[in-house]
Structure 1
């Protein structure tokens, strides 16, 4: 039966394929594809876990006191029966063999299948056995984790082949952790669907960075969609169509082909300089997460890296921090890949929607705060961990010997933070001098993403070389909206007058002080905001490489001098979006 699920469109385009469900277990489960050579080993891991759990349950039965309730022994028998049921481990084996899931993912996938079967049973007693099944699976996952903890290494290897055959795969989940997203980014999925999230949640940002359609905030998708259902993701309207009819399927296949043709047309602008009709040259920089992304930035025609999110070097490491040498090699690789173009490295911004795998003493306090988006994150965390911070800064300065690097500090809100940063930089450079390590001048910049920083910008500007406006958090904090919460996603409004006032004044003040200013939030990569940012005086945009062609096309058709005449009316308007639309449409007609 065909049905639709509605959510928030966050990455445009159409994706058609089979659903792959990532179940939300109470036990953290790694999700990755394994290579053919690791299939037998993963099956053996699952079987060893079964045998270990069986021994535990048998031991519990043997050690049970004589006065123990009869129901307790019966419950252990039920768990043993479920453990040896071919519907659990036999089908788990099939997920490993046919889809090349790692053992934990395969077991979770089969749990999802069986749990739904239990939910549909009419008998109350049988329906309640789902809890027993979940407990058995959690024991199995715990046994696998314990085995790894003893040094038994699993086949944790992400591969890039599509083991589903010719059918594209679409990922469906309640939510996707940033660490998992980085694994999936290098994998085979053609689209994402999640129950929670908003337009600037991390899942949405990574989906856009992969240039694949995504719908978030669906609330029920992971419960309603089944493994291997045929699904259409309409990333333009936020609609998910499950088991579509042949007519609907053909309509969306046509739209898919049209989208691919448009993408190919825009790709031809790659080597065209981004210059407005009135001769203003615009910098189009790239946002990247890993050094390898720099190659995509160059291929897309980026003129530099405006935001290297260094925190992704800290993820998927079991809580272990990267060494100074590891970071140095990563930053050096990015700098060299950009072939002399500038690379702006943001210091680690963990916290909120990007926690580390395991917390230190300071972070543990952060993990349990009620609102992590306002807790110990970004520069606050770095200053609370001075040894880690100095290590990262040394790595960044060492990499500066191989190309132009700019240092960007996130979430600054106090002058005292700037003073601590400057003192830390002085110590770092002294350490490098004492060690005979070469480095060159590194420009210092701050992110304007807290309203307080935007308001006090005149006090910050004398201490920095540039500023970068992070619109995602600036909107979140200005409007008191959790950008990852689908319940209030409709209130997240980049066109809100207060937001536009803060952005416009930040750009104007930075330019008046002779300091360079860029926008690196999602507004920069959305062509709907290109004319607005140009009329505010912005001349440096930073976005994911895949977004550069559409923004460049808008710039090539714009006259910045004529556009800026509309700014006073836009900022004074009760409905800035409508005012901007009318003003820019009139400007476009005059130009053509």
Structure 2
């Protein structure tokens, strides 16, 4: 039966494929693909964990047998026996082997996938006693996961991309068929998971939670694949290998579509591909408006290798290198596990050299809220993580770590033009502390005789307080970069990752537009550079407004550059300026913007 689910559209396009579920677990589970040559080793990890859990249960059974009856009731011994039976059950072990060998999942991912399938079988049982055994199965799997955590494999590169299914393919692909597109479905995905999947084979993804500017959504846009977040119960309603359609334009997920619906979306998918091909022809055309205003279109990147996509899309530089993605998946409470100076230097150098002489803006680490270092931090750990120890606040609280990053960035600047961008500044004392540490890092490199380069210094304007003290900022910085994602969040008191209040997240709010406009105007007045690097920069619905407000530097994901360039080429800034002022003066700007 066809089912439609509704969420938030965060990356445009249409994806059609088989569902791959990432199942939630109380134990932190890594999800990655292995190589075909590693299948036996991964099954060996599973076998080792199963044997260890079996021995653990045997020890518990032996200790129970030695206890007095009043200390160890018969039910406890029976329960341990049930756990032993479930541990050896073929439905569990053979199923896990199937996901490892056929889909090349790592053992933990395969185990949670099979748990979800078997658990649903328990839910459908009529007998109450048998139905309640699902909890026992979950406990057994949790024991296995905890055992495997000590034998975790190093992340392997993904297998080669699978051939997409075409209209000429006959019949329906079965389980394990590598000839069909795969679509990821999960309750939520950490930024670290998203980075791993970014290198892989998925045609689209769906999550139960998240907002339009959550980091999961941002990475999805950088992957240029259709995505829907905030689809609430998608991970419960979709089953492994279900055929599903993701409509990234409408924010709709269609499960088990009929042939007619499949044909309709297949046509829509081909139309989108034709539009992308048409935009691709603009990649070498300079971004100049009809009235001769040159516009700088920059790229946002997460990893050094993303510079290749930026150059291909026609970016004239990197306006935002999110350096925190180099730190993802590390143990947050152990600074020795974070990338050292040489590892960071090599990453920044690769990005600089990859841009072939064009400038690279490296933002210092911005962790916290929806970007925990180790993928485990949750909202329960803080009263409000978005207002807590994040971004520059965390860096200043860990000066040794911060100096390592600053030295690495300064060293990379010897290989090409680098701009250094500081996130989430709000106080003059934070500015002074940051500048002092930058100078300290320079002195350390000079003392060691290590080559370094000059950098332009910039600050993010993403807190209303910062937008209201621009003159203080412009005394110390060469340029400003407006981070609209957080600026909207903090101006409107909206958690941008929470789908429950996503309808209140409004880039068109008069207060937000006024802060953006004032920042652009003040920078132009003082002859300082200013760009927008938040999601507004890559949204073609805002291109004309930002141009009318005087913005001449946009930074966005490479996948969005050509669509924005098309709007720039069609724009006349002289005519847009008075209209933009009308939008600013309006009580309902969205009406004039056509939103």
Query: TM (normalized to structure 2)?
Result: 0.95
Kindly state the Cα deviation for residue 432 of structure 1 after the two structures are TM-superposed.
1.2
Partner of 1:32: 32
Structure 1 residues 318 and 381, CA, compared in 2 at 3 Å: closer, same or farther?
closer
Aligned residues between the structures: 574
Given that 2:35 and 2:156 are in contact with CA atoms closer than 8 Å, whether structure 1 keeps it comes out as no
For structure 1, which segment, 159-168 or 306-315, has the greater mean C-alpha deviation from structure 2 after superposition? 159-168
Shift of 1:154: 5.4
Q: Does 1:341 align with 2:358?
A: yes
1:436 positional shift: 1.1
Take 2:327 and 2:23, find their aligned partners in 1: how far apart are those partners?
25
Partner of 1:146: 150
Residue 324 (structure 1) aligned with residue 341 (structure 2): yes
Q: Distance in 1 between matches of 2:91 and 2:573?
A: 65
**Corresponding position of 2:61:** 61
- State the secondary structure of the residue aligned to 1:292: helix
Q: SS of the residue aligned with 2:329?
A: coil
Residues 541/155 of structure 1: CA separation in 2 closer, same or farther (3 Å cut): closer
In 2, are the aligned partners of 1:42 and 1:154 still within 8 Å (CA)? no
- 1:399 aligned onto 2:416: no
1:18 corresponds in structure 2 to 18
Shift of 1:118: 1.6
1:293-372 to 2 correspondences below 5 Å: 293-319=306-332, 320-357=337-374, 368-372=381-385
Give me the whole-angstrom Cα distance separating, in 2, the residues matched to 1:465 and 1:549: 28
**Partner of residue 171, structure 2:** none
- On the 8 A contact 2:288/2:294 being kept in 1, the answer is yes
The Cα shift of 1:155 comes to 6.3
Which residue is equivalent to 1:78? 82
**2:263 counterpart (242, 250, 273):** 250
**CA-to-aligned-CA distance 1:179-207 (integer Å, 9 cap, x gap):** 10100000111101000001101111111
Deviates more, 1:427-436 or 1:409-418: 427-436
**Structure 2 equivalent of residue 105 of structure 1:** 109
Q: Which residue of 2 aligns with 1:575?
A: 588
Judge which range, 308-317 or 543-552, deviates more.
308-317
Asked whether the 8 Å contact 1:200–1:472 carries over to 2, the reply is yes
> 1:511 and 2:511 equivalent?
no
Judged with a 3 Å threshold, the aligned counterparts in structure 2 of structure 1 residues 221 and 78 are, in CA distance, closer, same or farther, namely same
Match of 1:211 among 213, 217, 224: 224
| Whole-Å separation in 2 of the counterparts to 1:528 and 1:331 | 33
| Deviation (angstroms), 1:367 | 7.7
Q: Is the 8 A contact 2:329 2:375 kept in 1?
A: no
- In structure 1, list runs of 5 or more residues that go unmatched: 583-592
Distance in 2, matches of 1:393 and 1:154, equals: 28
| Equivalent in the alignment of 1:124 | 128
- Confirm whether residue 419 of structure 1 aligns to residue 432 of structure 2: yes
| Secondary structure, counterpart of 1:147 in structure 2 | coil
CA offsets per residue over residues 377-434 of structure 1, 9 Å max, x none?
0000000000111110001001111100000000000011110011111111111111
Q: Distance in 1 between matches of 2:400 and 2:253?
A: 47
Q: Contact conserved, 2:244 with 2:255, CA < 8 A, in 1?
A: yes
1:385/1:367 CA distance change after superposition, 3 Å: farther
State how far apart, in whole Å, the 1-side matches of 2:216 and 2:343 are: 26
Aligned residue runs from structure 1 range 184-203, under 5 A = 184-203=197-216
In structure 1, the partner of 2:387 is 374
Q: In the alignment, which residue of structure 1 is the partner of 2:165?
A: none
SS at 2:366's partner residue? coil
- Structure-2 separation of matches of 1:155 and 1:570: 50
- Could you tell me how far 1:156 is from its partner in structure 2? 4.0
Identify if the C-alpha distance between structure 1 residues 535 and 155 changes in structure 2 by more than 3 Å, giving closer, same or farther.
closer
Q: Counterparts of 1:2 and 1:415 in 2: how far apart (Å)?
A: 57
Contact 2:13 2:249 in 1 (8 A): yes
Please tell me whether the aligned partners of residues 41 and 155 of structure 1 are also in contact (alpha carbons under 8 angstroms).
Answer: no
* Secondary structure, aligned partner of 1:488: helix
- Give the CA deviation at 1:537: 0.3
Q: Which runs of 5+ in 2 are unaligned?
A: 163-175
**In 2: Cα distance, 1:358 partner to 1:504 partner:** 36
8 Å contact 2:541–2:593 — kept in the other structure?
no
SS in 1 for 2:43: helix
> Is 1:114 aligned to residue 118 of structure 2?
yes
How far apart in 2 are the matches of 1:445 and 1:147?
Answer: 43
Question: Residues 164 and 494 (structure 1 numbering): CA distance in 2 closer, same or farther, change over 3 Å?
Answer: farther
Give how far 1:358 is off: 8.1
Secondary structure, in 3 states, of the residue corresponding to 2:82?
Answer: helix
